[in-house]
Amino acid sequence: MHLSLYKSFALPFLLVFLNFSSGCKAEPSPSEPVDPPVDTSSFAKGADISWLPQMEASGYTFYNDNGKAEDCFKILKDHGINSIRLRTFVNPSNDKFSGHCSKDETVAMAVRAKQWGMRVMIDFHYSDTWADPAHQTKPAAWVGLDFQTLQNTLYNYTYDVMTALKNAGVTPTWAQVGNEIPSGMLYPDGSTDNWPQLAKLINKGYDAIKAVSPTTKVILHVDQGNNNGRFRWWFDAARANGAKYDIIGMSYYPYWLDGSPDYTLSINDLGNNLVDMASRYGKEVMVVEVGGEDTKVQNTYNMLLAVQQKVKSVPNNKGLGVFYWEPQGARSWSKYALSCWGSNGQPTMALDAFK
The pLDDT value given to residue 275:
98
Q: Is the residue at 32 inside a domain? A: no
Which of 32, 56, 105, 180 is catalytic? The answer is 180
> Would you call 180 a catalytic residue per the annotation?
yes
| The three-state (H, E, C) secondary structure of the chain, written as one string | CCHHHHHHHHHHHHHHHHHHHCCCCCCCCCCCCCCCCCCCCCCEEEEECCCHHHHHHCCCCCECCCCCECCHHHHHHHCCCCEEEEEECCCCCCCCCCCCCCHHHHHHHHHHHHHCCCEEEEEECCCCCCCECCECCCCHHHCCCCHHHHHHHHHHHHHHHHHHHHHCCCCCCEEEECCCCCCEECCCCEEHHHHHHHHHHHHHHHHHHHHHCCCCEEEEEECCCCCHHHHHHHHHHHHHCCCCCCEEEEEECHHHCCCCCCHHHCHHHHHHHHHHHHHHHCCEEEEEEECCCCCCHHHHHHHHHHHHHHHHCCHHHCEEEEEEECCCCCHHHHCCCCCCECCCCCECHHHHHHC
Q: Say how many Å lie between the first and final Cα of the chain, rounded.
A: 78
> Would you call 27 a catalytic residue per the annotation?
no
The pLDDT value given to residue 41:
72
Q: How many domains does the chain have?
A: 1
The pLDDT value given to residue 302:
98
CATH number at residue 92: 3.20.20.80
Least confident of 19-33, 137-151, 158-172: 19-33
Q: Is the residue at 176 inside a domain? A: yes
Does residue 268 register a pLDDT over 60? yes
Q: Is the residue at 33 inside a domain? A: no
Which of 105, 284, 289, 326 is catalytic? The answer is 289
Does residue 2 register a pLDDT over 80? no
Q: How much is the pTM?
A: 0.90
The pLDDT value given to residue 267:
98
The pLDDT value given to residue 34:
67
Q: Is the residue at 291 inside a domain? A: yes
The pLDDT value given to residue 27:
41
Q: Is the residue at 284 inside a domain? A: yes
Q: Which domain holds residue 303?
A: 45-354
Does residue 32 register a pLDDT over 80? no
Residue that wins the pLDDT comparison between 35 and 303 = 303
Partners of 194 in the beta sheet? Answer: none
Does residue 4 register a pLDDT over 90? no
The pLDDT value given to residue 37:
79
Mean predicted lDDT score pLDDT of the chain: 91
